[in-house]
Amino acid sequence: MIAVLKRGTTAEQTDHLIRWLKTMNLDVHVSSGQEVTVLGLVGDTSRVDMELLTSLEIVDSVKRVSEPFKQANRKFHPNDSIIEAGNVKIGGGFFAMIAGPCSVESSEQIIGIANEVKEGGADVLRGGAFKPRTSPYAFQGLKEQGLKLLLEAKKVSGLPIITEIMNVRSLALFEEVDIIQVGARNMQNFDLLQELGKTKKPILLKRGLANTLQELLMSAEYIMSEGNENIILCERGIRTYETYTRNTLDLSAVPVLHELTHLPVVVDPSHATGRAQLVPSMALAAAACGADGIMVEVHNNPSCALCDGAQSITPAQFTQLAHAVKRVREAIQ
Ligand code: PEP
Ligand code: MN
């Protein structure tokens, strides 16, 4: 349920109303915009007398929110959320270029790529240490050692870092990680989502291979319901009958999510297409349809990459892409 307050309502009147609502065992989320203040009521709202609430002098309107996602809902929070990671902001007009290899492979590799993508226009460095692989015999990532190397690359380049968590047990290792990624395969690992909800870390939540946008938002709600509102959503392609590309990039997810939620939306054209030559055009399309950022896999030697070489672009291609993305963003503003 949401209650929109009238213009000119004082902080004291708002506090008074919130205190009263809390006596009904409700959580109250306050969204103060330039125009109006919106109170989002979470919990068992069946006991709230809507007519009584509407009749209060400071209340403009009261509505029930029919969607099952509440805190992620734009109705609860009309303004775009801006997520801060290190010195980088994402959402609400702030755009981030996230770049780096699929996996951290060695100190030279990750530090070399970090410096090159920084030079080329990256805002955040990506690199997997714990890798979710379809085959148990494939390279599984350097794990703790990979995280150490990534932290070293963060120090050397000054870029904030994003890396994927696979399970709750390794959470303590992620203390100095700026953004924790929940991969497509873990989008509905509800235990993991709840534990991440107890932290204040920015979480990049990827859409599952066969999940609807509502399911993605319900997963975000799992994190938010535990108190962590720092979520970035990521469209990374979904599985369809098309096999020419690794997945099918659902770009309509960007405007749809922007309509439904205040959370920023980033697009990953690398995992969406699986082919390096398709990455730049899909990245530009993502920027054109209003994405809040792009995450691309970049490798200094794609043909020798231990993971996802076929979809990795080179640092030089990344630099070109970053310039082109900037031009597209200027064109749509
Ligand atoms: C990744 O970003 O390295 C990754 C494994 O992506 P996804 O979860 O989208 O497959
Ligand atoms: Mn990958």
φ and ψ at 200, to 5 degrees? -110, 10
**Residue pair 258/265 in contact by the 8 Å Cβ criterion:** yes
As a whole number, mean pLDDT of residues 205-222 equals: 98
- Retrieve residue 28's tokens: 């109250």
DSSP string, 194-260: HHHHTS---EEEEPPTT--HHHHHHHHHHHHTTT---EEEEE--B--S--SSSSB--TTHHHHHHHH
Look up the CATH number of domain 2-63: 3.30.70.1140
Tens digits of residue pLDDT in 6-33: 999 999 999 999 999 999 999 999 998 8
Binned at pLDDT 50, 70 and 90, residue 1 comes out as very high
pLDDT confidence of residue 269: 98
Antiparallel, parallel or unpaired: β 2-5 and 37-42: antiparallel
pLDDT confidence of residue 313: 98
Which of 102, 125, 186, 188 has most ligand 1 atoms within 8 Å of its beta carbon, as the pocket-test mutant?
Answer: 102
**Residue pair 150/102 in contact by the 8 Å Cβ criterion:** no
Sorted by where each begins, the domain ranges of the chain are: 2-63, 83-332
- Retrieve residue 155's tokens: 């120090």
Place of tokens 């690794």: 246
Residues, CB within 5 angstroms of ligand 2 (ion)? 102, 308
Q: Please determine, for residue 166, whether its predicted confidence score (pLDDT) is greater than 90.
A: yes
Distance 138 CA to ligand 1 centre (A): 15
Q: Please determine, for residue 36, whether its predicted confidence score (pLDDT) is greater than 90.
A: no
Which of 110, 125, 130, 164 has most ligand 1 atoms within 8 Å of its beta carbon, as the pocket-test mutant?
Answer: 164
Please name which ligand lies nearest the alpha carbon of 237. 1
Tens digits of residue pLDDT in 126-164: 999 999 999 999 999 999 999 999 999 999 999 999 999
Q: Please determine, for residue 62, whether its predicted confidence score (pLDDT) is greater than 90.
A: yes
As a whole number, mean pLDDT of residues 301-324 equals: 98
Residues with CB under 6 A from ligand 1: 102, 128, 132, 164, 183-185, 206, 236, 271
Classified by CATH at the fold level, domain 83-332 comes out as: TIM Barrel (3.20.20)
As a whole number, mean pLDDT of residues 243-262 equals: 98
**Residue pair 314/302 in contact by the 8 Å Cβ criterion:** yes
> b/e string for 93-117 if b means 16 or more Cβ within 10 A?
ebbbbbbbbbbbbeeebbbbbbbbb
Q: What is the mean pLDDT of the chain?
A: 97
Atom of ligand 1 nearest to the CA of 103: 3
* Residues constituting the chain: 333
Percentage of the chain exceeding pLDDT 90: 97
Best CA proximity match to 276, nearest among 259, 297, 250:
297
Binned at pLDDT 50, 70 and 90, residue 35 comes out as confident
Helix (H, G, I), strand (E, B) or coil at 167: coil
DSSP string, 115-164: HHHHHHT-SEEE-BSS---SSTTS----HHHHHHHHHHHHHHH---EEEE
Atom of ligand 1 nearest to the CA of 128: 3
pLDDT confidence of residue 235: 99
As a whole number, mean pLDDT of residues 46-50 equals: 91
CA-nearest residue for atom 6, ligand 1, is 183
pLDDT confidence of residue 290: 98
| CA torsion through residues 84, 85, 87, 88, sign | negative
- Rounded CA-CA distance 121/187 in Å is 29
Q: Please determine, for residue 298, whether its predicted confidence score (pLDDT) is greater than 90.
A: yes
Distance 52 CA to ligand 2 centre (A): 54
Atom of ligand 1 nearest to the CA of 236: 9
Distance 180 CA to ligand 1 centre (A): 12
pLDDT confidence of residue 33: 82
Sorted by sequence, the CB contacts under 8 Å of residue 291 that are 6+ apart come out as 95, 235, 254, 265, 266, 267
Tens digits of residue pLDDT in 106-118: 999 999 999 999 9
pLDDT confidence of residue 144: 97
* Region of residue 121 (phi > 0: left; psi between -120 and 50: alpha; otherwise: beta): left
pLDDT confidence of residue 34: 79
